[in-house]
Amino acid sequence: MRVLVVGGTGFLGGALTEALASAGHEVSVLVRGNTNRSPPNGVKAITADRYGDLSILREQQFDWAFDTCAFEPNGVRHLLEALGDNLQRYVFISSISAYGTFTKPLLNEQDAVPLPTEEDLALARNLEPQERSSANSYGASYGRLKRACELAAEDMLGDRVTSLRVGLLVGAGDYSDRLTWWVRRIDQATADKPEVPAPAPASRNVQMIDVRDVAEFALACAEEKRGGIWNVTSTPMQLGDMLQQIISVSGSPARLKWVDEEHILEAGIQPWIDLPVMIPSASDYTHFMNVYTTRAEAAGLACRPLSETLEPLLEWDRTRRDVPLKCGLSAEQEAALLEEHSQAKV
């Protein structure tokens, strides 16, 4: 098949490009040319802005398109208009965030999803061109606008659309640093300073997926003509198990010090930002890492063992220890947690 990957040199886009090329497809990537990343050998780079002149796409014919970086519906419409009516499959990378609130566990593809408000759509329209391709630009509107993207695609292509509501993406090359912070922090523990603070309880759910597993499932959806909406993430694991696997893979002398959530919040530490993958136990996001995945698993979604994600992630991060991470505890925050609070019950 002739395939276009939009954002094909990014984190997920790169994994998709490699999976498609390895499967023997003729792959092109649509990129803006703002980074120094290059596609693999044999993959054609098309330089254009999805919000600009896409006449170069009208001159070609693609069977499938994989869109990794659409955050508002006008970007979807503009792309699909350029690709034309002969497109057989459009695989849109949506987000678990489309559900909006996570006050009940095991949200599934049939659950209600909030629609975008006029304020959401106005925010998207008023962004500067250079801001439109960054997820961070959309703030609290992000999930609702992802739903708007799903609907825009369905309006144009019907059952030729596959929307993958992806959970937390992890793996080597992930510059969001959410799992990477834990890997680096545990790997840097020493025998004389082994303690690493962790948010109790150890049984709290964590749900994530290796970027390569998303790529393989997306490819299978195109090959098998699977349309509709799919939750794409792993089955939940316990945070304590995740951290112990990091200790094992890294060979670290780290010793976890479990700190009560109450103490963490009282210290002004922000869950998810200062303590990556921590979700407060009483919030609109309580079950963000406990969504239903059975439908995708029955269709062939296979998530590799966590160790197979951690090993290349650790190897990659050890090559860039001079790069500050985008999230995680500061030295001062960590010292406060380690010094002030006794070990929580786990």
The answer as to whether 73 is a domain residue is yes
The answer as to whether 317 is a domain residue is yes
Instruction: Please tell me whether residues 133 and 194 are part of one structural domain.
Output: no
List the structure tokens of 227.
Answer: 């349309």
Instruction: Please tell me whether residues 162 and 258 are part of one structural domain.
Output: no
One digit per residue, the tens of pLDDT, for the chain of length 346 reads 999 999 999 999 999 999 999 999 999 999 987 777 788 889 999 999 999 999 999 989 999 999 999 999 999 999 999 999 999 999 999 999 999 999 999 999 999 999 999 999 999 999 998 899 899 999 999 999 999 999 999 999 999 999 999 999 999 999 999 999 999 999 999 999 999 999 999 999 999 999 999 999 999 999 999 999 999 999 999 999 999 999 999 999 999 999 999 999 999 999 999 999 999 998 999 999 999 999 999 999 999 999 999 999 999 999 999 999 999 999 999 999 998 655 666 6
Instruction: Please tell me whether residues 180 and 162 are part of one structural domain.
Output: no
**Residue-level pLDDT at 40:** 87
The answer as to whether 297 is a domain residue is no
Q: How many domains does the chain contain in total?
A: 2
In single-letter form, the type of residue at position 203 comes to S
Place of tokens 């998709």: 16
218, 153 in Cβ contact below 8 A? no
5, 27 in Cβ contact below 8 A? yes
**Residue-level pLDDT at 74:** 95
Q: Cα–Cα distances in Å, from 105 out to 37, 199, 235, 236, 297?
A: 39, 20, 12, 11, 18
**Residue-level pLDDT at 343:** 61
Residues listed for the chain: 346
For 241, the domain range is: 171-207+237-288+305-346
251-255's contacts with Cβ under 8 Å and 24+ in sequence apart are 252/186, 252/187, 252/188, 252/189, 253/189, 253/190, 253/191, 253/194, 254/186, 254/189, 254/194, 254/195, 254/196, 255/189, 255/194, 255/195, 255/196
264, 200 in Cβ contact below 8 A? no
**Residue-level pLDDT at 61:** 94
The model's pTM: 0.95
**Residue-level pLDDT at 346:** 62
**Residue-level pLDDT at 38:** 82
**Residue-level pLDDT at 341:** 55
Distance between CA atoms of 216 and 211, rounded to whole angstroms?
Answer: 9
Instruction: Please tell me whether residues 28 and 155 are part of one structural domain.
Output: yes
Cis bond leading into 253, ω under 30°?
A: no
Question: Within the chain, what is the greatest distance between any pair of CA atoms?
Answer: 66
CATH of the domain at 314: 3.90.25.10
